[in-house]
Copies of this chain bind each other. A is one copy, B any other.
Amino acid sequence: MPEEAEKTYTRADEAFDCIQTSIVKGELAPGEKIGELELCTRFNLTRGPLREALGRLESRGLLVRRPHAGVKVVSVSASELVELYRIREVMEGLAARQAAERMTDSEIADLQATLDAHEQMIDEAQGQAYYQAEGDYDFHHRIATGSRNTKLAQMLLGDLYYMVRMYRYRLSTSAGRPHRALGEHRRIVEAIAQRDGELAEFLMKRHINAARRNIEKQIQDGVLTI
């Protein structure tokens, strides 16, 4: 047999995943105060593992906790969301540069293939923001892991993306943006394929910059109220 990376899952892991996805999907709204007992009944577990999971979620910044007072889902202000994109800009810029230096040829080929798939998704699911977002997430995910920088990938995938995705669900991507974003993705992968790390970094930073400006515009227009 090739490889059995089967990790035994504990109840706390389970709780962590469940609550995290619930927050990201918006089933637990930002700012909402949640009781431990309520969570226990909802996810079928006892308070021991739950509290361990809450500790992890707090440390990741998805929850805020006041002793004896309870837990509530973190609510990110509009300005804080913009700040998140400023961080993404520099970190993913680095990830793109290191990915250009370190991704294998087959990984790059895979990446190009997924871009084709994304294009189809955009054409088919015309305006289905959800699938566009998933495709975008997939792209950035691959670059992060492709950087071969363990901590960088961990910070991007484990911290930033979850917070960004919390708001992806309510962000209306403006009309032409998906196609333009795909084009930007293509150029980034081209730079990576040519092993031009400097260019990949530049293009990735500009790509996220554009996304940030798009959000700032929505905030100004009052479309996005947080």
Residue positions of A touching B, CB distance < 8 A: 7-10, 12, 48, 51-56, 58-61, 67-68, 80, 83-84, 86-87, 89-91, 93-94, 98, 149-152, 154-155, 158-160, 163
Contact = CB atoms under 8 A, between A and B. Distances in A.
Contact of A90 (B54, B55, B90, B154): B90
5 contacts: A52-B55, A80-B150, A86-B94, A87-B94, A87-B151
A60 B55 CA distance: 11
Contacts of A51: 48, 52
Give the interface SS of chain A, mostly helix, strand, loop or mixed: helix
A90 to B, nearest CB: 4
A89 B98 CA distance: 14
A7 B67 contact: yes
Contacts of A60: 59
- Please give the count of copies of this chain that the complex contains: 2
Contacts of A53: 55
A155 B159 contact: yes
B151 A84 contact: yes
A55 B61 CA distance: 14
B155 A155 contact: yes
B56 A59 contact: yes
B61 A151 contact: yes
Contacts of A159: 155, 159
A64 to B, nearest CB: 12
A84 B98 CA distance: 13
A211 to B, nearest CB: 16
A12 B90 contact: no
Given A55-B52, A86-B149, A67 B155 contact: no
A73 B58 CA distance: 21
Contacts of A54: 52
Contacts of A55: 12, 52-53, 55-56, 59
Contacts of A152: 83, 86-87
A56 B53 CA distance: 9
The 3 closest A-B pairs by CB, nearest first: A90-B90, A56-B59, A52-B55
B10 A67 contact: yes
A83 B150 contact: yes
